[in-house]
Amino acid sequence: MKSNTLIIDKLNLLLADFQIYYQNLRGFHWNIQGREFFELHVKFEELYTDSAIKIDTIAERILTVGGVPLHAFEDYLNTATIAPVKNVHNGETAVKTIVTNIEDLITLEREIKDIAADANDSGTEDQMSAFIEEQEKSIWMYKAWLK
């Protein structure tokens, strides 16, 4: 039970981090300016659409393992380790922030994956593995864009 509680707590932290990351992406999408506008506007929409799906998946996983997902913005702000950003108009700043946010998400997902493995929770472990694999590829691509 203790491992299950720890998994729920960590998944709620991941949920809060994803909610802040999602809102950062929306802000980038709405506020991007400059020569990369058309390219990045579309990419940011792809990222926030994917994040919305992940947010739902994480919340459903929390319910599946017997928890209650956080669902108030106040809880997200009080829980998240990813910081909200605003008024970012520059593509390079936005992409650097995205890379940092994804790296932070992956660090937490690896921690959850290990806790889930120790608790014999293969569903959570598999979910984290899938997230990590996809996000590592995203980091590679966005770092390549930054060069």
Q: What tokens were used for 117?
A: 């493995």
Domain count of the chain? Answer: 1
Helix locations, 32-121, DSSP H = 37-64, 73-79, 91-118
Residues of the chain with pLDDT under 50: 1
CATH code of 142's domain: 1.20.1260.10
pLDDT at 1: 45
pLDDT of residue 52: 98
Question: What's the pLDDT score for residue 2?
Answer: 54
Per-residue DSSP letters for 66-89?
A: T------HHHHHHH-SSPP-----
Model pTM score: 0.96
The residue range of the domain holding 66 is 2-146
Tokens of 114: 């290990």
